[in-house]
Structure 1
Amino acid sequence: MKRTAIIGLLLIVFLAFSTVVRIKDIAKFRGARDNQLFGVGIVVGLNGTGDGGTLNSPLLANMFKNFGIPITEADIKSNNTALVMVTADIPAFYKEGMRLDVIVASIGNAKSLENGVLVQTPLYGADGNVYAVAQGPVSVGGSDVKSSINLQKRFKVTGYIPGGALIEREIPSNIVDDNSITILLMNPDVTTSARVALAINEKFQSRLAKAVDPSSIKVLIPDAFSDDLITFLSIIEEIEVVPDQPAKVVINERTGTVIFGGNVKIADFTLSYGNFVISIENGKIDEKQATISNLIAALKALGATPQDIIGIIQELYKAGVIFAEVKIM
């Protein structure tokens, strides 16, 4: 016997409350950005799980030469060392002496970096200058767990060194341009950009901000803050806005999950799917529009499985009755 879901927004109603957030949580200042660092180093102290000296011998030979120790590449072929790529991100305004987390990944045929120690490795920026130096014991995670459950084994040729890099040079950052700053939205959106500019102008009771495009808002620095930029920036960061959320549905068929953002509305339709007959009649009971939220809640109440719900949403998307972007993973 088929089950019928008639959605008139009386069966189940979800009230959508707009989320108020700080500008700090959805945007950054132009010029205040992270930079990527990288270098090539040697991990030593491995228990026979290294490269075997094929790749790292020349690097080790040069290292010993710098210490005044005459040694050839053939003399230092060992399974206890591994050639690795070392990477780190340096945030804006980080100063000399501060530390960064480091990721270490094997370049050669090492089987594991477990219990190894990274030898002092210079980390370069895109301009070729050294900005940090990395060194320290490599962590590859906790111990292997023996269980009847099919758990994924640890990946031992990639490791992590918390606070393993010491900054030697600050990367210059400049967020002021022509007596103004620019706010960059992390998720560009025309409506959100306009709302941010409006909120800033209302806060300072002056037309300081202008939305330039969906991702950037230009803000003039008032004379009162000409010598106190940090205070001005902190006030802007704490201003609250309601970001606009585009209607979007993301379906993951592998995990059986459906994620939807924004007020995803649907048009009138009637669909027969397996044991379900779904009928949408907008405005017949009250004057509200049917949404994906209402549809999913009603289907779950009738015992629909995640696979049923995903299949129904896919069919509705093909029929063109969902007013949103649908992404299937």
Structure 2
Amino acid sequence: MRKLTYILLILLTVLTVTYGLSVNVRIKDIAKFRGARDNQLFGVGLVVGLNGTGDSGTLNSTLISNMLKNFGVNVDPNLLKTRNAALVMVVADIPPYYKPGMRLDVQVASINDAKSLRNGILLQTPLYGADGNVYAVAQGPISVGGEDVKDSANLQKRFPVVGYIPNGALIEREIPMNVLDSNSVTLLLNRPDFTTAARTALAINQKFGVTLAKAIDASSIKVNVPSAFSDDVIAFLALLEEIEVPVDTPAQVVINERTGTVVFGGDVKIADFVLSYGNFVVVIQNGKINDQQATIGNLITALKSLGAKPQDIIAIIQELHKAGVIFAQLRIM
């Protein structure tokens, strides 16, 4: 018993000391409840009102002819040769607990050889779930966004065959959700991590003053609903969401070679090394660089002060990672 007490004291001490190096965030910002999830919807629709930038061929004519039959109008498809319409794929995500009558944003993308969906209008399109049922219906004017890039390089290039309709879908059927399982709920971390899972369970138990939560693995924390909230589970879930947890930030470096950017998270440390790269000579000795701690951030600052370009910095970081002197994960985009 005394040995178990010592182990618990050591664990609490480690967690408490590490807290000072982390950022406190609400549980609702780092986790979700199992059973409450988004669902993907999709459908095939027809965009009309295009100024000669729609699909070529006779496929559109057949679709329009079939659509007109629903209104009691019989038209020979061969007489409907138009490039003012385009066949599109319509997709949307429906969040948990959305009810009939609420609206969703939808995205529209050309399937055939349309040149542009600009100023087009999507006709009523049923959106299906993975089970084959219709959960929403989309319709409305399409926005393609962006600008036509000609003389200015600062404008975002327009992709005219992909569009967006804000609040363009009306929900027709609710997707059932259930987060309660045998008088308990399970939190799922957005980024699985053993340290954050343990801290989350500890924070919940400290908040309520009783052992309710237990980390099952790196991504899930099981929480028992106390008897005081047996008739008001929603209030208990709301309290859980507002509890702040010190989140552990893993040491990693993300490099995007196309844009020349370097993003690093956590306290990324570097071992001693001597590097010669072109006209640059970098020396880290006794864990210091320019009398500061040897970290990625301080290294980049030093390299920039020497006139290094983003491509130089990226190349140097990659070589240091190969040499094993950077204590972090390296991700190249």
* 1:205 alignment partner in structure 2: 209
Q: After superposition, give the CA deviation of every residue in 1:190-238 in whole Å (9 maximum; x if it has no partner).
A: 1111111111111111111111111111111111111111111111111
**Structure 1 CA distance for aligned equivalents of residues 302 and 168 of structure 2:** 52
**Structure 2 CA distance for aligned equivalents of residues 150 and 19 of structure 1:** 35
The aligned amino acid for 1:128 is G
More moved, 71-80 vs 237-246: 71-80
**Structure 1 CA distance for aligned equivalents of residues 142 and 312 of structure 2:** 46
* 2:126 alignment partner in structure 1: 122
**Structure 2 CA distance for aligned equivalents of residues 58 and 22 of structure 1:** 54
More moved, 56-65 vs 231-240: 56-65
Does structure 2 retain, via aligned residues, the 8 Å contact 1:88–1:103? yes
Identity %: 73
Q: After superposition, give the CA deviation of every residue in 1:151-209 in whole Å (9 maximum; x if it has no partner).
A: 56421111111111111111111111111111111111111111111111111111111
**Structure 2 CA distance for aligned equivalents of residues 87 and 283 of structure 1:** 52
**Structure 1 CA distance for aligned equivalents of residues 45 and 257 of structure 2:** 41
* 2:323 alignment partner in structure 1: 319
Alignment RMSD: 2.3
**Structure 2 CA distance for aligned equivalents of residues 142 and 304 of structure 1:** 33
Structure 1 residues 53-132: aligned runs within 5 Å: 54-132=58-136
Does structure 1 retain, via aligned residues, the 8 Å contact 2:23–2:248? no
Q: Secondary structure at the match of 1:121?
A: strand
The aligned amino acid for 1:222 is P
* 1:278 alignment partner in structure 2: 282
Q: Where do 5+ consecutive residues of structure 1 fail to align? A: 1-15
Say if 1:324 and 1:212 are closer, same or farther in 2 by CA, change over 3 A: same
Q: Secondary structure at the match of 1:89?
A: strand
1:302 Cα deviation after fit: 3.7
Does structure 1 retain, via aligned residues, the 8 Å contact 2:43–2:90? yes
* 2:44 alignment partner in structure 1: 40
The aligned amino acid for 2:106 is V
The aligned amino acid for 1:194 is A
* 1:8 alignment partner in structure 2: none
203, 207, 224: which one pairs with 2:228?
Answer: 224
**Structure 2 CA distance for aligned equivalents of residues 322 and 18 of structure 1:** 21
The aligned amino acid for 1:199 is A
* 1:156 alignment partner in structure 2: 160
**Structure 2 CA distance for aligned equivalents of residues 20 and 142 of structure 1:** 37
54, 60, 74: which one pairs with 1:50?
Answer: 54
1:17 Cα deviation after fit: 5.0
Q: Secondary structure at the match of 1:233?
A: helix
**Structure 2 CA distance for aligned equivalents of residues 171 and 293 of structure 1:** 46
The aligned amino acid for 1:132 is A
Say if 1:268 and 1:148 are closer, same or farther in 2 by CA, change over 3 A: closer
**Structure 2 CA distance for aligned equivalents of residues 161 and 220 of structure 1:** 41
Does structure 1 retain, via aligned residues, the 8 Å contact 2:44–2:88? yes
Does structure 2 retain, via aligned residues, the 8 Å contact 1:122–1:132? yes
The aligned amino acid for 1:248 is Q
**Structure 2 CA distance for aligned equivalents of residues 263 and 171 of structure 1:** 42
**Structure 2 CA distance for aligned equivalents of residues 265 and 17 of structure 1:** 14
Q: TM-score, normalised by structure 2?
A: 0.87
* 2:151 alignment partner in structure 1: 147
Asked whether 1:305 is paired with 2:295, we answer no
Higher-RCO chain (CA-CA 8 Å, sequence separation at least 6): 1
1:77 Cα deviation after fit: 2.8
* 2:219 alignment partner in structure 1: 215
**Structure 2 CA distance for aligned equivalents of residues 276 and 144 of structure 1:** 41
The aligned amino acid for 2:301 is A
* 1:185 alignment partner in structure 2: 189
Q: TM-score, normalised by structure 1?
A: 0.88
**Structure 2 CA distance for aligned equivalents of residues 122 and 21 of structure 1:** 39
249, 258, 263: which one pairs with 2:262?
Answer: 258
1:303 Cα deviation after fit: 3.6
**Structure 1 CA distance for aligned equivalents of residues 279 and 127 of structure 2:** 61
